Amino acid sequence: MKYELLIRRGRLVDPSQGIDGLRDVAFARGRVAAVEKGIPESLAAEVLDASGLVVTPGLVDIHVHAFWGVSHYGIDLDPVCLARGVTTAVDAGSSGAATFPGLRRYVLSKTRTRMRAFLNISAAGMIAERIGELEDLRWADVSWAVERAREHADLILGIKVRLSPYVVGKTRDLDALARALEAAQALGKPLMVHVGDTESSLEEIMARLRPGDIVTHAFHGWRHGVLDDAGRVLPGVREAVGRGVMLDIGHGRGSFSFHVAEAALSQGLKPGSISTDVHIYNYQGPVHDMATNISKFLKLGLPLAECIELATVKPSRAVGLEEGAGSLTPGAPGDAAVFRLETGLFNFVDSYGNTATGAQRLVPVATVQRGKVYRPRRQSEAVPSGKGRRG
Ligand SMILES: [Zn+2]
């Protein structure tokens, strides 16, 4: 048999190739083998009929929390990622230099979703809610972080720092930022900065970032966001984005505001990636999964192809995933997702309890990983462990 799997008759949306139309996608030896109209079924061992459905490259979520049992945020990711169309996910700073080897051995190597990580500049990582990981800046040990990231360069894509007061306490946020930048610079890798209610303004923070660095929770509704008091995009934010600093969504339980997103988009300020920040406190809502996040951006007026671009090839390139990730170009990793694009009236909720009614909703139907249809093997792969404490 020439192909192991064939996805037939779907509407392929692959912005990396500029395709939005009917195509068949064939897989062989775990990779994409052909993207054409009318590939014969007889050439494939298994056929997935995608008539009336949307086919995309496997989604890439660059902000998740997977360190189950160590970080209080951690969840089993396969049920919310791989089972729902996300084939690659990046743990965003759950672990630091002292705890990363555990994340690697007990989580990243066992999760079926392809996993990478940003290393927290705090050596502890995000262990407990009651003590912020940078309240004592001794945890932000640059050489320790650099050493650990070099040891695990196959999985660690960059450095993460969180700058909210509940993380840095009385420490100056810009001091924490400087240490994180120093580590990222030494590694030649991106820095992901968590913002929201910071003591310093977003303009002060972004002025220090390099092209390729990432601001996550970009459309939060706390003080010191992307807008001024009159709702206009701040010039310093626009300037930094113009230089190549990337805005990432990182929806989370407290970091996505419909009002801010609407105001930013209407003034031409766009994110470079859509991500979830999915963790124990939000996977049952308001975040749910990537498909729900994408549906919120459909509601905000972004076309489907643009949303898929922000959830595949753009984040893939931003964090330096392997060539072809986030794309269904022949030769690329055989990762794809199949969705039903439903029409009707759907209520979406942001992180502040505001609702918005959209006319479309993307619903995961199937995931293909390394050229095979993903099927959960155990109950734990279908239902996340633990219970969300907050909405
Ligand atoms: Zn997070």
Q: pLDDT tens digits, residue range 75-107?
A: 999 999 999 999 999 999 999 999 999 999 999
> By C-alpha distance, which of 315, 386, 369 is closest to 118?
315
Q: How far is the CA of 122 from the centre of ligand 1 (A)?
A: 14
Mean pLDDT within 296-324: 97
Gap from CA of 139 to ligand 1 centroid (Å): 18
Centroid of ligand 1 to alpha carbon of 42 (angstroms): 46
Going from the Cα of 47 to the center of ligand 1, the distance in angstroms, rounded, reads: 38
- Whole-Å CA distances, 50 to 92, 226, 362: 33, 40, 14
Q: Shortest CA distance to 75 belongs to which of 376, 280, 277? A: 280
The CATH superfamily holding the domain 59-318 is Metal-dependent hydrolases (3.20.20.140)
CA of 314 to the centre of ligand 1 (A): 19
Using CA atoms, how far apart are residues 235 and 249, in angstroms rounded to an integer? 19
Nearest-angstrom CA–CA distance, 130 and 268: 38
pLDDT of residue 345: 97
pLDDT value, residue 387: 45
Q: How far apart are CA 175 and CA 128, in angstroms?
A: 22
Share of the chain above pLDDT 90, in %: 93
Is the confidence at residue 379, as pLDDT, over 80? no
Would you state the pLDDT for residue 376?
A: 81
The per-residue pLDDT of the chain, averaged, comes to 95
Q: Which residues contact 229 (CB under 8 A, 6 or more apart)?
A: none
Instruction: Write the CA distances from 177 to 93, 159, 193, 200, 376, integer angstroms.
Output: 14, 11, 8, 11, 40
Ligand 1 centroid–CA 78 distance in Å is 17
pLDDT at 318: 98
Look at residue 353 and tell me whether its pLDDT is greater than 60: yes
Residue 191 near residue 182, CB atoms below 8 Å: no
Mean pLDDT, rounded, for 109-120: 96
Ligand 1 centroid – CA 151 distance (Å): 24
Measure 27 CA to ligand 1 centroid, in angstroms. Answer: 34
Centre of ligand 1 from the C-alpha of residue 279, in Å: 8
Closest listed residue to residue 114, CA positions, set 157, 150, 70 = 157
Residue 128: CB atoms within 10 Å: 10
Residue 164 CA to ligand 1 centre (angstroms): 12
User: Is the pLDDT confidence value at 310 over 80?
Assistant: yes
- pLDDT of 22-42, one tens digit each? 999 999 999 999 999 999 999
pLDDT value of position 364 = 97
Residue 200 has pLDDT above 80, yes or no: yes
Nearest to 318 by CA among 277, 271, 279, 278: 271
Alpha-carbon torsion (62, 277, 140, 117), positive or negative? negative
CA distance 149 to 101: 10
Contact 335, 30 (CB under 8 A): no
Q: Quick one: tokens of 209? A: 């970032």
CA of 8 to the centre of ligand 1 (A): 37
Q: Give 182-194 pLDDT, tens digit per residue.
A: 999 999 999 999 9
CB of 51 closer than 8 Å to CB of 64: no
Q: How far is the CA of 370 from the centre of ligand 1 (A)?
A: 27
| Beta-sheet pairing, 156-162 with 214-216 | unpaired
Q: Judge whether residue 158 has pLDDT over 90.
A: yes
Residue 378 has pLDDT above 80, yes or no: no
pLDDT single digits (tens) 231-289? 999 999 999 999 999 999 999 999 999 999 999 999 999 999 999 999 998 988 999 99
Break the chain into its structural domains and give their ranges: 59-318
